[in-house]
Amino acid sequence: MELTEKFEIDNCKNKISYNIIHDDIPLKMSPDLIDAIKYLLWYVPDIASIQSRENELVSNILYDDFTFLEIMKYMKLRDEDVWFAEEIPKEIEKVYLHSVCTNSQKIVMTKGENETKTSAVLRHIRNAIAHGYFNIVEDLIVGFDYKPVTKHEEKCTAFFKINPTNLLMALKSLDNELTSKQLVTLALKNNGYHVAKYEENFETSERFDLYARKGSNQYAIELHPYNSQEKIHHQDVLNMIERFEGMFRDLKTVLVINSSFLLEESKDELLQHEVIILDVKNIKKMLAGRDMLSGIVRDNKFK
């Protein structure tokens, strides 16, 4: 699946009328919706909550499409159900403001200049729930996010109608399943690598993050967090090399890292010790089926 601009407006014969103002106070919500709201408020990655954990796949624009397409799968959204617009036309807002089709889900949203699609979706849904711009229509949660334009005017920045159970599955995946290890594993598998746990003396080894094999080449792969914001100290790289040396006799050592955070002397030191530097930008190319790792090994003649 890929995300294009094939968005389709609802076109069913029996739309269900609703009012954004709740008739029942407090609103009756399913257990899945209650849990989804808890995740949105406190637990999803990279939000202003002490309970939230960082996840570079949510906030790093480099992995925007990968992460959001995975979220779409969990939410059971089709390409034609999603539209990221620079502005939401008034006509679109009016289509969904008082009645909706309940046989499909839809997400229509704006996003910030350097904001990922996943971050935008989480932000808009949280805002809608926090400000009360939502209601339950049959099995769907329907909501809007608005941005003040003047003291007396506001502009619609998001609309959604989604299944709460699907939303909960997606939110749980952000907290538990979508990781950089999963991303790199998928990139390797897309290029014909066998990825498995490494065994030493018939026992599983956890001395590195991933083990991969393709043809006669075997790799010990270390992952460095993608969201570092400053240069890595050269001494830290030397310590890493010391830990690598002699550890894996028949394995090529691969460091997956944002190479812009490496000092030039650190890059040289890694290459002198035959540590393959696989920049995170190459992971995106590998997701598309280009075997960048084999190319680096071939071009640099690593033994």
According to the model, what pLDDT value does residue 302 have? 61
Confidence at residue 48, expressed as pLDDT on a 0 to 100 scale: 80
> pLDDT at position 276, please?
93
Q: Indicate whether 176 pLDDT > 90.
A: no
> Which SS3 state, helix, strand or coil, does residue 184 take?
helix
- The per-residue pLDDT for 299 is 84
- Alpha-carbon distance of 184 to 278, in angstroms, equals 11
Spatial strand order in the sheet of 217-223: 194-196, 210-214, 217-223, 252-257, 275-279
Which tens digits make up the pLDDT trace of 156-172? 999 999 999 999 999 98
* Structural domains of the chain sorted by starting position, each given as residue range(s) with its CATH number in brackets: 16-175 (no CATH), 177-301 (3.40.1350.10)
Q: What is the mean pLDDT of residues 57-64?
A: 83
What integer pLDDT is reported at residue 301 of this predicted model? 64
Residue 2: predicted pLDDT: 72
Question: Which own/partner pairs from 272-281 qualify as long-range (CB within 8 Å, at least 24 positions apart)?
Answer: 273/241, 273/244, 273/245, 274/302, 274/303, 275/241, 275/244, 276/219, 276/252, 276/300, 276/302, 278/221, 278/254, 280/62, 280/226, 280/256, 281/62
Residue 266 has pLDDT above 60, yes or no: yes
- Please state whether 52 falls in left (phi above 0), alpha (psi between -120 and 50) or beta: beta
CB 66 within 8 A of CB 182: no
Within the chain, strands assigned E span: 16-17, 82-84, 99-100, 106-109, 134-137, 140-150, 153-162, 194-196, 198-200, 203-205, 210-214, 217-223, 252-257, 275-279
pLDDT level of residue 253 (50, 70, 90 thresholds):
very high
Distance CA 187, CA 180 (A): 11
Q: pLDDT band at 247, cuts 50/70/90?
A: low
The pLDDT value recorded for residue 91 is 94
Decide if pLDDT at 56 tops 70. yes
> Could you give phi then psi for residue 160, rounded to 5 degrees?
-150, 145
Is the model more confident about 5 or about 27?
Answer: 27
* pLDDT above 70 as % of the chain: 93
Mean pLDDT computed over every residue of the chain: 89
Nearest one of 202, 192, 244, 204 to 220, comparing CA atoms: 244
Residue 290 binned pLDDT confidence (cut-offs 50, 70, 90): very high
Question: What is the rounded average pLDDT of the residues 272-298?
Answer: 90
49-65: average pLDDT:
82
Q: Quick one: CA torsion of 18, 23, 24, 27, rounded to 10 degrees?
A: 50
Token pair recorded at residue 223: 């992952």
- Summary count for the chain: helices (H), strands (E): 11, 14
How far is Cα 106 from Cα 111, in angstroms, rounded to an integer? 16
Other beta carbons less than 10 A from residue 301's beta carbon: 7
Distance set, CA 153 to CA 88, 109, 123, 150, 207 (Å): 15, 19, 21, 5, 58
pLDDT at 225 over 70: no
183: which DSSP letter? H
* Mean pLDDT along residues 61-85: 92
- Give residue 43's pLDDT band: very low, low, confident or very high (50, 70, 90): confident
The predicted-structure confidence for 119-145, as pLDDT tens digits, reads as follows 999 999 999 999 999 999 999 999 999
Predicted local distance difference test score (pLDDT) of residue 161: 98
Matching residue, tokens 């709201």:
37
pLDDT exceeds 80 at position 28: yes
Is there a contact between 263 and 243 (Cβ–Cβ < 8 Å)? no
pLDDT at 153: 92
